[in-house]
């Protein structure tokens, strides 16, 4: 079954002239706090669907599709580099009126959240990162090839492009997902606008935008926990322990066996349990 039914329809929010698709899940009872979920590439907030639905039992949960992703604006004039996304996150937190939310971030969403915190002054109650892009090296050979030839890839016939996107997504996984789940993840990239946007966002993100974040990890001002797919084929789990070494307080690491890069879907139940334990500690 698709997980898209777990999320309410998106509400568009204008941040610095760019339309951002946002969702707020209200708790079924009294709220135990505010949780902000950040996605990575080539995903959207859909990767957090099941986790968000569970947490909304007793937390107010905020999701956003970064511009260039999901249901947010994707035009060629929209900057989608990590520095700009961090500015948008900080602005969106202000727009939502959130002072010190719990933040949970995956993939490049971790770099965006850390940059918003370290370089833009965003205050978090705490931060739980999953398989994040921060430390060198990152970016697969395919990622680097596309970054160098984005305009060429954008001209692929649509069926070939769709097959490439689906196989790229499968390459992140250790535990296979159903074709329906793969289609949920690939869907935003498959129309004409999405095809160009897919290659544009790959070309726009760079290790140059994470090296200063990595250098400042010792200045993180909130408690952190690190989660990782133990068999992540994109970012090896060794990076989780390097992050542990660099972050204040040597935060704990949870490594999920038999899980690849897309932990929120491959190990959804374990991720939800770990997040709940973190929030209720």
Percent of the chain surpassing pLDDT 90: 89
Closest by alpha carbon to 103, among 139, 61, 71?
A: 61
What is the b/e burial string over 114-148, where b = at least 16 CB atoms within 10 angstroms of the residue's CB?
Answer: bbbbbbeebebbbbbbbbbbbbeebbeeebeebbe
In a domain, 176, yes or no: no
CB 110 within 8 A of CB 40: yes
In a domain, 197, yes or no: no
pLDDT band at 3 (very low <50, low <70, confident <90, very high): low
Q: How many domains are there within the chain? A: 1
With beta carbons less than 8 A apart as the criterion, state whether 205 and 82 touch.
yes
Beta-sheet strand order (sheet of 253-256): 11-15, 18-25, 60-64, 34-38, 102-106, 126-130, 224-229, 253-256
Residue 116 lies in a domain: yes
Judge whether residue 254 has pLDDT over 70: yes
Whether 149 is covered by a domain: the verdict is no
The answer as to whether 172 is a domain residue is: no
The band of 144, judged by pLDDT with boundaries at 50, 70 and 90, is: confident
Does 60 reside within a domain? yes
The domain that contains 257 carries what CATH number? Answer: 3.40.50.1820
Contact in structure between 41 and 107 (CB atoms under 8 Å)? yes
Residue range(s) defining the domain that contains residue 215: 4-138+206-279
196 burial via Cβ count (<10 Å: 0-12, 13-18, 19+)? buried
The length of the chain is: 281
Whether residue 178 is contained in a domain is answered as no
pLDDT for the residue 4: 58
CB 201 within 8 A of CB 148: no
With 90 as the cut, is the pLDDT of residue 41 above it?
yes
Rounded Cα distance, 136 and 204, in Å:
17
- Mean pLDDT value across residues 262-274: 94
Is residue 182 in some structural domain? Answer: no
Token code pair at residue 173: 């996984």
């Amino acid at each position: 079954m698709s997980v898209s039914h777990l999320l309410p329809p998106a509400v568009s929010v204008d941040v610095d002239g760019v339309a951002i698709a946002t969702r707020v899940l209200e708790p079924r009872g009294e709220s135990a706090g505010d949780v902000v979920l950040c996605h990575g590439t080539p995903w959207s907030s859909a990767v957090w669907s099941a986790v968000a639905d569970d947490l909304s039992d007793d937390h107010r949960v905020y999701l956003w599709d970064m511009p260039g992703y999901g249901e947010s604006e994707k035009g060629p004039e929209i900057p989608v580099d990590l520095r700009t996304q961090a500015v948008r996150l900080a602005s969106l937190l202000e727009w939502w009126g959130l002072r010190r939310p719990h933040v949970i971030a995956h993939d490049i969403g971790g770099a965006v959240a850390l940059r918003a915190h370290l370089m833009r002054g965003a205050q978090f109650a705490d931060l739980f990162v999953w398989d994040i892009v921060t430390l060198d090296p990152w970016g697969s050979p395919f990622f680097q090839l596309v970054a160098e030839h984005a305009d060429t890839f954008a001209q692929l016939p649509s069926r070939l492009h769709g097959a490439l996107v689906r196989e790229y997504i499968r390459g992140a996984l250790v535990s296979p997902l159903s074709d329906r789940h793969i289609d949920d993840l690939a869907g935003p990239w498959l129309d004409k606008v999405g095809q160009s946007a897919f290659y544009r966002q790959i070309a726009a993100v760079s290790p140059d935008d994470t090296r200063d974040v990595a250098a400042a990890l010792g200045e993180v001002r909130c408690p952190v926990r690190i989660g990782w797919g133990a068999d992540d084929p994109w970012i090896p789990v060794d990076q989780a322990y390097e992050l542990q070494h660099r972050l204040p307080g040597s935060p704990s690491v949870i490594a999920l066996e038999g899980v690849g890069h897309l932990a929120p879907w491959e190990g959804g139940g374990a991720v939800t349990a770990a997040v709940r334990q973190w929030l209720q500690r």
